[in-house]
Structure formats: C-alpha cells, structure tokens
Amino acid sequence: MNDAHTESAWTDTSHRILLLEELSRRFARNQKGSIRLAQTLRFLRKKYAWTVVIGLTKFLKRMIDFTVALTMLLALAPLFALVALCIKLTDRGPVLFWQARVGQWGREFPFPKFRSMVTNAEKLKDSLLAHNDHHNGVTFKMKRDPRVTWIGRIIRKTSIDELPQLWCVLIGDMSLVGPRPPVPREVALYTLADRRRLDAVPGLTCIWQVSGRGDIPFPQQVELDVQYIESQSLWLDVKLLVLTIPAVLLGKGAY
C-alpha cells in the first residue's frame, strides 16, 4: 500500500513538473514574442514619427520659399524694369539669359539670369578656357571676363543678375537655400563623390556663397555643399539667408 501510494505521489509530482516546464516554455515563447512585438512597434513609431517630422520640415521650407519668392518678385518689379531697360539699351539684345541647369538628382530645368554678357558669350567661352581662374577645369570663373558688359559688371557685383531665379524658387525648381545648380557641362566632369551635391534642391544661396563665392575652389565648394546637405535645417537656412546680405553688399568673390 505504501509502495502504491509512493508511486502515485511520485507520478503526480512528475506530472506537475512536466506541466510547470510546459507552462514555462509557453511563457518564454510568449514573452519573446511580446518583446519582439514591442521592439517592432517602437521601431515603427520612431520611423513614422521621423517621416512626419521630415515631411513637415519640407512642407514648411516649401511654404517659406513660395511666400518669400512671391513677395520679393512683386516688391522688386520696379528694379527689374529698370535693369531690363539698361540691358536693352546697351546692345538691344535679350534681357534674360536662359540656361539649362542641373537640379536635384540630375533633373535639368530652365535657369534665368539678367544677361550680363555679350549675346555671343557662350561661343566665346571656349577661347577663354586657358584663362580660367578655377584651375580644376570643372567650373569656369574669370575675374576680368571680357564678355561682361558695363551694366553686367554692376548687376554681377551686386548679384542683381541672379534675382530672376526667384521665379525658379516660386515654381519649385529651386529653393532659397541649397547648393548652387551647375550646368550639364560641369556635371559631366563630376566624380561620383562630386555628384553628392545633387542630392538636395538647388538654391539661390549656400554656404560657399556666403564664404567667398567665386574665390572658393571647386573641391571646397563640394565639401561645403555636402556639409549643408548632411546638416540642413530651417535654422541653418535662416542663418545663411542673413549671412547672404553682407556677402552681397561686400561683393567679395563676385565677378
């Protein structure tokens, strides 16, 4: 009887142990599943929160671009008319110079400037390449470019020639702040690292524009553009817009 009772008790104990082990395994599986689910939910929350923040920032940047560009185009209309008249009276050529420029991710768009050079400036450029002050060969800058007209020297020194690009900002091809858009001829000479500067919407002003403009060599321009792309924010945009004012007034590197 005692043996039977002992065997029965041992069997019950073994059964309970098995049940506890099974419950423990189930709990561990459920706990791991819960941990994985919690981790996934946290990741998704962070992902979509970041997406919303980026989306709102881009929306605000676009609204600021549109509002400022429209306001400036209306406010500067009398200046535009005066500059257009001076250009027309100089050589009776077109007031605006339109050029293809390369924007974000390699998309080309029409890019206007007040014409500051003679009408056949592009044809004369090839004969002046030996006098390029940017010896890297990618960009072309000449401090005493013979193609520039008398009114052209004034509007280039004061950056008035760039103001028609407010239209590009208004329609979304450009932003107020961003890397300056290159011409296709320059992009064809880019290295893979140089193409990094095409990852952002091009702008009217940028870091190297307020740091020396044409005096900044091309490799350093790329470095500063990449620096902007990797740290861009609305606060940085405001800071660069403010710094653009003294840069334009001083005219350093504008030629």
CA separation for the pair 27, 61 (Å, rounded): 50
Total domains, the chain: 1
Query: In which band, very low, low, confident or very high, does the pLDDT at 1 lie, cut at 50, 70 and 90?
Result: very low
* Closest alpha carbon to 209 in 197, 221, 200, 227: 221
CB 80 within 8 A of CB 112: no
User: Does position 105 have pLDDT exceeding 80, yes or no?
Assistant: yes
What is the DSSP code string of 72-105? HHHHTHHHHHHHHHHHHHHHS--SEEEEEEE-GG
The tokens for 250 are 């001083």
> Is the pLDDT higher at 192 or at 21?
192
Residue 9 lies in a domain: no
Query: In which band, very low, low, confident or very high, does the pLDDT at 53 lie, cut at 50, 70 and 90?
Result: confident
Helix boundaries (H) for the chain: 2-75, 77-91, 121-125, 150-157, 166-171, 184-187, 218-231, 234-250
In angstroms, the Cα distances linking 76 to 71, 163, 253 are 9, 9, 24
Residue 18 lies in a domain: no
> Is the pLDDT higher at 156 or at 143?
156
DSSP state of 193: T
The tokens for 181 are 């858009």
The tokens for 152 are 């052209």
* Domain interval for residue 169: 76-250
CA separation for the pair 152, 164 (Å, rounded): 14
pTM: predicted TM-score of the whole model, two decimal places: 0.77
Residue 209 lies in a domain: yes
Query: In which band, very low, low, confident or very high, does the pLDDT at 95 lie, cut at 50, 70 and 90?
Result: very high
Q: Is 136 helix (H, G, I), strand (E, B) or coil?
A: coil
Residue 57 lies in a domain: no
What pLDDT was estimated at residue 30? 56
Residue 70 lies in a domain: no
What is the DSSP code string of 157-183? HTTGGGGGGHHHHHHTSSEEESPPPPP
CB 82 within 8 A of CB 62: no
User: Does position 4 have pLDDT exceeding 70, yes or no?
Assistant: no
DSSP state of 133: S
CA separation for the pair 202, 172 (Å, rounded): 10
DSSP state of 127: G
Residue 71 lies in a domain: no
Q: Is 73 helix (H, G, I), strand (E, B) or coil?
A: helix
Which residues on adjacent β-strands are paired with residue 175? 203
Residue 4 lies in a domain: no
Residue 12 lies in a domain: no
